[in-house]
Amino acid sequence: MSILISDDILQSARLTEEELKQEIAVLLFQKEKLTLAQASRFAGMPRLQFQHLLASRKIPVHYDIAEFEEDLKTLKESGRL
In tens, the pLDDT along 22-47 reads 999 999 999 999 989 899 999 999 99
Domain range summary for the chain, segments of one domain joined by + = 13-78
What pLDDT is attached to residue 26?
97
Alpha-carbon distance values, 15 to 10, 41, 80 (Å): 5, 19, 36
**Residues 74, 38: Cα–Cα separation, whole Å:** 12
In tens, the pLDDT along 47-71 reads 999 999 999 999 988 777 887 888 7
pLDDT band at 2 (very low <50, low <70, confident <90, very high): confident
What pLDDT is attached to residue 58?
93
Has residue 74 got a pLDDT over 90?
no
If 0-12 CB within 10 Å is exposed, 13-18 middle and 19+ buried, where does residue 29 land?
Answer: buried
Closest CA to 8 of 23, 20, 25: 20
